[in-house]
Amino acid sequence: MAMKRTVLAGLAAAALLLTGCTADADDDIAVAERWDFHSRPELAPPKVDIDSGSFPDDNGDLQTFLAPKGQTAADDKSWVGGLILDAAGDPVWIRDDGEQMWDLRVQEYQGQPVLTWWEGLAETPHTAGEVVVLDDSYQEIARVGMGGELPKDTSDLHETTITGDDTMFLISYVKTQTDLTSVGGDEDGWAWEGIVQEVDIDTGDPLFEWRSLDAVPVDQTETELKDGEGTKDEPFDYIHLNSVAEDDDGKALLVSARNTHAVYQLDRKSADLNWVLGGKASDFEMGDGAQFAWQHDAQRRSDGTLTLFDNHAAPRLGDTRGLRLDVDEKKKRAEVVTEYPAPDDRSSGSQGNFQELPNGNVVLGWGSEPYVSEFSKDGKLLADLTFTGGSNYRAYRFDWHAQPTAPPTATKSQPQADITRVHMSWNGATEVASWRVLSGDDEEHLVENSEVERTGFETAADITPNGSTIVVEALDADGESLGSTTAAPQNR
């Protein structure tokens, strides 16, 4: 499904500018303005318009992480790639090669922050790919996939979580022959069996494995077996696992299954099924408003609550929302603690996530609907963004510090006879506070022309050169050099 996109989608503050502006897979996708960088003309991500005061500042200098993509395989209008955006909405890092990325985020591996995402063939549930791990210089240090009897490149796009033990939770789907008579199929039918693994990142060895058909029968599905499904060529997607997370202080795992409307707790040592929350086989009485449907991203939080992104759509059974539940394992009852509702009538038919920030605020990525929202812990909407067209699997806000191994880039032009304009940028560099421009007859005889404050992804400075050689130098907040161009910038 990965493909080149030629018309880019824009991002704007939905709360004030584009409230209610959604893009349907069958609708015309709005064409919006895109960036045009002199120093990096090959990079053309969506222009972003965010009120810098709309996101709270008490979470530190957090950046927004998005990996926009098309709504369908036929969508050739939505921009596809990876974006890290600063508080002003300007790009910090752009991956603009037309390839789909899923679950772009910051994690920790071997005690260091890393950037991760899934890439591969994204034809869910028959996905085939690996998780890419980059260090803070954007150098690839690992590719992670399934282990044991499963080919490495058969990991599914839904889960990429790294644990504190330097392992990774992964999901895969395998065609498995099984009795489908309970759902109107053949006795010798076929289903996509969901498989959960915990894989050692360094060795690739699986440390844990759970197979859904061993514990969750097909008749617990909430989706209908359609004509033509249930064959070896088109297995029945009866469970559709979509997240794995640690629970019970690491002794158990929480697994979300979209097509059974259920969350499963698994014993991490034995892989036994401890309990089921939601769906047809729930071990819990669901309190008023606690029932969820077609959900994603089930997580246990430090206060003991369980959170998830409740799609409640495709088909639509209610309003899409973020949901925080009190799950009483002794009384076997689940109650709503907090709801995080959409600020309009948006309904997310697929994808989505629930991130809890260090101060307790909540970030919701709305999946198939092109929005990102931040709420206070008690459910008050603080910010709401939209990017016109396309979708985004999960959205996050993180504090990310990085410096690429590749040097900065600069170009020069001459808008007037006596003025040379220099444009400079450094894709992915997060610590640049200002730029120093130097010129001279050669690199051994340079004189400073100007020092200018960084004004976004690309900064411009007008100078009168002291010679034919121009070098730009990136400086941090203390005025220390981070890197520089090593040759005269190119004319444009």
Q: How far apart are CA 430 and CA 106, in angstroms?
A: 14
* Beta-sheet pairing, 490-491 with 409-416: parallel
Sign of CA dihedral 275, 278, 281, 283: positive
Q: Which of 383, 292, 410 is CA-nearest to residue 38?
A: 410
Under a CB-based contact definition with an 8 Å cutoff, are residues 41 and 35 in contact?
no
Query: Could you read off the pLDDT of 188-228 as tens digits, one per residue?
Result: 999 999 999 999 999 999 999 999 999 999 999 999 999 99
Q: Which of 486, 469, 476, 467 is CA-nearest to residue 406?
A: 486
Whole-model pTM: value is 0.90
The whole-chain average pLDDT of the chain stands at: 89
pLDDT for 71: 78
Interacting residues of 44 by C-beta distance below 8 A, sequence separation 6+: 8, 34, 35, 36, 37, 96
The per-residue DSSP string of 25-59 comes to TTSPPPP--B---SS-TT--PBPEE--TTSS-STT
pLDDT for 2: 34
Give the SS3 label for residue 106.
Answer: strand
DSSP one-letter code for 15: I
Q: What parts of the chain have a pLDDT lower than 70?
A: 1-32, 48-60, 388, 487-492
Task: State how far the alpha carbon of 187 is from the alpha carbons of 3, 177, 240, 320, 465, in Å.
Answer: 39, 9, 21, 36, 80
Under a CB-based contact definition with an 8 Å cutoff, are residues 253 and 268 in contact?
yes
The superfamily in CATH containing domain 409-489 is Immunoglobulins (2.60.40.10)
Both structure tokens of 412: 């020069």
The superfamily in CATH containing domain 48-398 is YVTN repeat-like/Quinoprotein amine dehydrogenase (2.130.10.10)
pLDDT for 23: 33
Under a CB-based contact definition with an 8 Å cutoff, are residues 135 and 112 in contact?
yes
Give the SS3 label for residue 490.
Answer: strand
- For the chain, the domains span 48-398, 409-489
